[in-house]
Amino acid sequence: MKKILPIILVIALAAGALFWWQSRGADASGDLALYGNVDIRQVALAFDGSGRITELAVEEGDPVKAGDVIGRLDTRSLELQAKAQEAVVEAERQALLELKAGSRPEEIAQARAKVASTRATAELATLQRDRAARLVTSRTASQQDLDRAEAEAQAASAMVDQDVAALDLILAGARPEAIASAQAQLQSAEAQLELLRHEISLGELRAPADAVIRSRLREPGDMATAQSPVYALALTDPKWIRVYVREADLGRIRPGMAARVQTDSFPGQPIAGQVGYISSVAEFTPKAVQTEELRTSLVYEVHVTVTDEENRLRLGQPVTVTLIEEAAK
């Protein structure tokens, strides 16, 4: 028996070594199993503006869609300012339209009638001046009378020139510079109104993407600022798994490689995924990673993106990822 025992021990060791080698060869040529945890991107959502919160529409655990209004601030004072600014914009718009339209036909007719009246007055003054000149010649009027008639004739002629110039201005309409100035004033008023409307819109808190409410950090009545988050959101798409691969297996994976994700909560119901990111830098294995190698081994971080249509995966959940080597060929 003492001679047979060493022989049996050698045979057992040889069989164990053969089994290990065969198992290692089969693993090297087949699928690669990795262990990791679910990662979900999170958003700390705050109002862009500041003010008192009047409404928070969702609770922790509620799903939200991109664009959903989930909170509101008190914007009453801004709305009143916007109404006042709307009146200013309308006044500036009407002033611009008035300049572009020019004078009304009635105003033009009035100016022409005034020109006709002053011309008639000027003609009368000229006649009186001529008569006064004849009377001075016949010595029936004084030189003073002639001087007065001459002055009145000149004044009447000047009045005609003034009224004709006024008519020309009415017919020419507003100057281009005046129209441009009115246009600029209207644009300034419209920009101020747009700014007020934008500030009002900042009083609505909208979900940036499809997500689930993880935390509700404020309540109606609280004062909100851009630096104080109101909700913490977990984005539901995309979800990905963080796993680590040892250097010996690094050559077996590549971006786009198909994967199956298994959880203990749903055994036998894998979730499809694919390799999306492979780190180019090695690091020491984190304590949370489950591997069969020593904890001090150098590994490479890999992200496996999954499509979790039934929302089975939760943040931090441990999973088993099987990389399907045949799908990459």
Distance CA 85, CA 194 (A): 10
pLDDT tens-digit series, residues 238-287: 888 899 888 888 888 888 889 999 988 888 888 888 898 888 777 766 65
Both tokens of 280, joined, read: 């180019």
Decide which of 2.10.109.10, 2.40.30.170, 1.10.8.350, 3.40.50.720 is the CATH code for 30-41+236-328: 2.40.30.170
Per DSSP, 138 falls in state T
Helix (H) or strand (E) holding 76: helix 76-101
Q: pLDDT class for 29, splitting at 50, 70, 90?
A: very low
pLDDT tens-digit series, residues 65-106: 999 999 999 999 999 999 999 999 999 999 998 888 776 777
Ramachandran sector of residue 328 (left: φ over 0; alpha: ψ -120 to 50; beta: rest) = alpha
pLDDT for residue 327: 43
Both tokens of 301, joined, read: 């971080």
According to CATH, what is the number of the domain 51-74+202-231?
A: 2.40.50.100
pLDDT tens-digit series, residues 157-209: 898 888 888 877 777 676 888 888 999 999 999 999 999 999 999 999 999 99
Given the structure tokens 């001075």, which residue do they identify? 136
153 class by beta-carbon count within 10 Å (0-12 exposed, 13-18 middle, 19+ buried): buried
State the pTM of this model. 0.57
- The domain limits of the chain are 30-41+236-328, 51-74+202-231, 80-198
Distance CA 289, CA 268 (A): 22
Please indicate whether residue 206 or residue 129 has the higher confidence score (pLDDT): 206
The closest alpha carbon to 39, from 235, 310, 252, belongs to: 235
Tell me if domain 30-41+236-328 and domain 51-74+202-231 are identical in fold.
no
